[in-house]
Amino acid sequence: MSVSVTQQDEFENNLYAPPVISVVVALSAALLTVGVLGSASIELAAAGAVGTVLFAFGLIRGTPRVVIGGVVGLFSCVLVAGVMAVPTGVVLFGAAGTVIAYDSGIYALRLGRQTTTEASTWRAESLHHLASTLVIAGTAGIGVGLFLTGPGNLPADALFLLVLSAGLLLWVVQTAD
């Protein structure tokens, strides 16, 4: 993977200043996802940890492709968990953690490019992460509620398609931005 001249210049000239709160929220959500996956499969947790390391490296360097690559790796582990028919809560918590990590990571990249280390961004970051987490948690809660109140013989494929559709929705939101 080659780094463009502008990305390399921004990093070398310290034009990218990762906002601490956003980076902490993003990495915490990714680590939560790895922990949840670990309750279902050690192999999935190990693969998710590799995605999380890639994600963290992208946040530190300010490289969107690496951040997205790490999130795709983490989300792939959640999709595999859905196919393996692990408990619904594990898959939905993993998906919610991945979406929060993605949203917080992209926000950190954007904010880090627009501000300097001297800028106070804690209010904007706190409000963004609170609102995002409430929306994502609410959506996951509704998903669990629908799954639990629906017919008891839902196939694992339905859960897989639910998680896949969440990933596609995330992709559409990113490309429309």
* C-alpha closest to that of 76 among 47, 105, 43, 53: 47
In a domain, 130, yes or no: yes
In a domain, 3, yes or no: no
In a domain, 64, yes or no: yes
Torsion sign, CA atoms 30, 31, 36, 39: positive
Q: What is the pLDDT of residue 9?
A: 44
In a domain, 2, yes or no: no
Q: What is the pLDDT of residue 154?
A: 60
Residues of the chain with pLDDT under 70: 1-14, 150-164, 166-177
Q: What is the pLDDT of residue 70?
A: 95
CA distance 167 to 174: 11
CA distance 66 to 56: 9
pTM: 0.77
The two most distant CA atoms of the chain are separated, in Å, by 58
Number of domains in the chain: 1
CA distance 57 to 67: 8
Q: What is the pLDDT of residue 136?
A: 81
* C-alpha closest to that of 95 among 26, 176, 36, 23: 36
Q: What is the pLDDT of residue 1?
A: 46
In a domain, 92, yes or no: yes
Which structural domain, as residue segments, surrounds residue 57? Answer: 8-176
In a domain, 1, yes or no: no
Q: What is the pLDDT of residue 10?
A: 47
In a domain, 61, yes or no: yes
| 39 torsion bin: left (phi>0), alpha (psi -120 to 50), beta (else) | alpha
Q: What is the pLDDT of residue 138?
A: 78
In a domain, 32, yes or no: yes
Q: What is the pLDDT of residue 127?
A: 86
- Residue 8 buriedness (CB in 10 A; 0-12 / 13-18 / 19+): exposed
Query: Do 52 and 30 contact (CB within 8 A), yes or no?
Result: yes
